[in-house]
């Protein structure tokens, strides 16, 4: 899927791309993620059915419905494609002059409801609501139970690819190392970073436009320019990622600008991914 989330530099470790699987009964399962208001990640599992609907419309619309697709959609089957078209979360539109209060109340009620659906922590030794390491029966029920559990967990992980994958064997597994829905370890695909430079020691006043239009204008057109910013204040953290059209251009920029001064600071440029 190609979509621009607010900043591609930190998008990766915030919200994973949605996964779509086709079920034998013709329905689709879409797993997507979002952050809730507390900054926790929420996994949304949607089961989607395609339905045929009949409608009475203007004749010209009927004709247009039968047009064949073109451009990037050429040869895609009829019906919405999940890569470009997805159903969003339900949003509320409470009309009225006092919409502000109504909205606030509903928001609170919703968050509360969601909290109830939250999976609680479960101890692997006694099943209580605490972390396994904090279990009061750790010593009495002993290592045996833990070992059993561990084995079970491993088996389960092997079987279904480890539930949500984040807590395999109770250990943290970085996202890019996790198994995907079909149980395979992901191959590093994603973005091609071979043309991306990391630019550091940037003055805080420098923004994307300045990089695009001033500093790297000569090496343009640029694929992407992202200044890494503080999540709370929006201030620049003094470094940026710049993706060039080609590796050659990137190299040229690296050679020519590394160590040069820009807005009172000496620039430092390097490949965003180490060359192999």
Partner 1 sequence: MRPIKLMGHERSLTQVKFNREGDLIFSVAKDNAASIWYSSNGERLGTLEGHRGTIWSIAVDLETKLCATGSADLSIKLWDVSTGECVYTFDMPTPVRRVEFSPDNKKLLAVTDQVMGQIGTITIFDINYEDVYNQNAEPSLVITTREDAKKVSVAAWTANGKYIIAGHEDGYISKYDGTTGAFIETVQAHGIHNTETNLLVTDIQLAPEDQSYFITACKDKCSVLIDVETFQILKVYKTDAPMNTAAITSKKDFVILGGGQEARNVTTTAESQGKFEARFYHKIFIDEIGRVKGHFGPLNTIAAHPDGTAYASGGEDGYIRLHHFDKSYFDFEYDAERTERAIASGAT
Partner 2 sequence: MPNQTEEQYLKELEKEINLDDVDFSDLEAKYQVSADFGLDCYVVVDGAPVAPEAKVPILTKVLKKLFSTIGEVVEGEDGVYMPLENGMSKGYLFVQFKEPQMAEAAIKQLNGKKLDQKHRLLVNRLSDIEKYGVEGNIPDKFEEPSIEEIRDVGYMRSWLQDEAGRDQFVQHFSETVGVYWNKKKNEPEPAIEPRKGFTSTYAKFSPKGTYLFSVHPQGIQSWGGAEFLSCKKFIHQQVRLIDFSPNERYMVTLSPVPIQLPDSPQERAIFPFGPESNGHKLVIWDLITGEPSRTFALPPHLEGQKEMPWPLVKWSHDDKYCARQGPGALAIYDTTDNFQLLDKKLVKVDDIVDFEWAPAPVFLAGPKKDEGEHILSYWTPESSNQTARVAIMQIPERKVIRTINIFQVSDCKMHWQDEGKYLCVKVDRHTKSKKTFFSNLEFFKLTEKDIPVEKLELKDVVYNFAWEPRSERFITISRLDDGSANVSIPKNVISFYGPELQQKGKSSSAKYTCLKTVTDKHSNTIAWAPKGRYAVVATIAKNNGELEFYDTQYEEDKTATSTGNVNVTATKKNDSVKLMKQERFSGMTSLAWDPSGRFVAAWSSIWLHTMENGFKIYEFTGNLVRDESIDQFKEFIWRPRPASLLNAADRKKVRKNLREYSAQFDENDAMEADAATREAILLRRAQLEEWRSYRSKYAAAVEEKKKNEVQAELIEEIKEEIIEEKEEVIIE
Pairing of strands 261-262, 236-244: unpaired
- Asked if 246 interacts with partner 1 (CB under 8 A), we say no
* Stretch 244-273 residues interacting with partner 2 (CB under 8 A): none
Tell which one of 24, 26, 79, 96 touches partner 2 (CB under 8 A). 79
- Asked if 48 interacts with partner 2 (CB under 8 A), we say yes
**Alpha carbon distance 203, 205 (integer Å):** 5
User: What backbone phi and psi angles, to 5 degrees, belong to 21?
Assistant: -125, 145
How many CB atoms are located within 10 Å of the residue 235 CB? 11
- Asked if 3 interacts with partner 1 (CB under 8 A), we say yes
- Asked if 40 interacts with partner 2 (CB under 8 A), we say yes
**Alpha carbon distance 13, 77 (integer Å):** 32
CB 237 within 8 A of CB 229: yes
Residues 6+ apart with CB under 8 A from 2: 83
Residues 6+ apart with CB under 8 A from 184: none
The residue range among 1-9, 58-66, 149-157, 185-193 that interacts with partner 2, by the rule CB under 8 A, is: 58-66
Q: Choosing among partner 1, partner 2, none, which partner's interface includes residue 164 (Cβ < 5 to 8 Å by kind)?
A: partner 2
Residues 6+ apart with CB under 8 A from 62: none
CA 122 distance to own-chain centroid:
27
* Stretch 94-153 residues interacting with partner 1 (CB under 8 A): 94-97, 99, 103
- Asked if 176 interacts with partner 1 (CB under 8 A), we say no
Residues 6+ apart with CB under 8 A from 86: 18, 30, 32
- Give the largest Cα separation in the chain, rounded: 77
- Asked if 56 interacts with partner 2 (CB under 8 A), we say yes
Tell which one of 12, 19, 180, 207 touches partner 1 (CB under 8 A). 207
Is the bond preceding 156 in cis, omega lying within 30 degrees of 0?
A: no
* Stretch 11-50 residues interacting with partner 1 (CB under 8 A): 35, 37-39
Rounded to a whole number of angstroms, the minimum distance from the CB of residue 194 to partner 2 is 30
Q: Choosing among partner 1, partner 2, none, which partner's interface includes residue 264 (Cβ < 5 to 8 Å by kind)?
A: none
Please identify, using beta-carbon distances, which residue of 118 and 151 lies nearer to partner 1. Answer: 118
- Cα three-residue angle 7-10-12, rounded to 5 degrees: 110
Q: Pattern of binders to partner 1 over 57-96, x per CB under 8 A?
A: xx-xx--xx-x-xxxxxx---xxxx-xxxxxxxxxxxxxx
Q: In the 8-state DSSP scheme, what is residue 29?
A: E
The residue range among 59-67, 185-193, 256-264, 265-273 that interacts with partner 2, by the rule CB under 8 A, is: 59-67
Site residues (CB under 8 A) for partner 2?
27, 33, 36, 40-62, 65, 78-80, 85, 87, 100, 114, 117-119, 121, 164, 166-167, 172, 232
Residues that bind partner 1 (CB under 8 A): 1-6, 35, 37-39, 55, 57-58, 60-61, 64-65, 67, 69-74, 78-81, 83-97, 99, 103, 207, 229, 231-234
């Amino acid at each position: 899927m190609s979509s621009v989330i607010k900043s591609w530099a930190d998008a990766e470790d915030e919200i994973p791309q949605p996964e779509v699987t086709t079920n034998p009964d013709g329905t689709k399962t879409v797993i997507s993620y979002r952050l809730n208001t507390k900054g926790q990640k929420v996994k949304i599992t949607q089961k989607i059915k395609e339905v045929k609907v009949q409608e009475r419309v203007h004749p010209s619309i009927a004709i247009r419905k039968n047009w064949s697709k073109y451009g990037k959609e050429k040869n895609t089957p009829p019906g919405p494609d999940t890569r470009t078209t997805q159903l969003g979360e339900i949003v509320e539109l409470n009309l009225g002059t006092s919409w502000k209060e109504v909205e606030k109340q509903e928001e609170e009620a919703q968050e509360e409801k969601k909290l109830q659906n939250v999976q609680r922590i479960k101890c692997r030794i006694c099943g209580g609501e605490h972390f396994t390491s904090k279990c009061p029966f750790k010593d009495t029920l002993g290592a045996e139970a833990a070992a059993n559990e561990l084995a079970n967990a491993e088996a389960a992980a092997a079987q279904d690819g480890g539930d949500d994958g984040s807590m395999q064997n109770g250990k943290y597994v970085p996202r890019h190392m996790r198994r995907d829905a079909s149980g395979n370890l992901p191959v590093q695909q994603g973005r091609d970073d071979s043309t991306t430079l990391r630019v550091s020691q940037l003055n805080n006043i420098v923004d994307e436009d300045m990089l695009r239009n001033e500093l790297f204008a000569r090496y343009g057109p640029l694929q992407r320019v992202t200044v890494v910013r503080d999540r709370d204040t929006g201030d620049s953290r003094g470094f940026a990622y710049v993706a060039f059209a080609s590796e050659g251009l990137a190299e040229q920029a690296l050679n020519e600008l590394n160590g040069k001064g820009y807005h009172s600071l000496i620039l430092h440029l390097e490949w965003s991914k180490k060359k192999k």
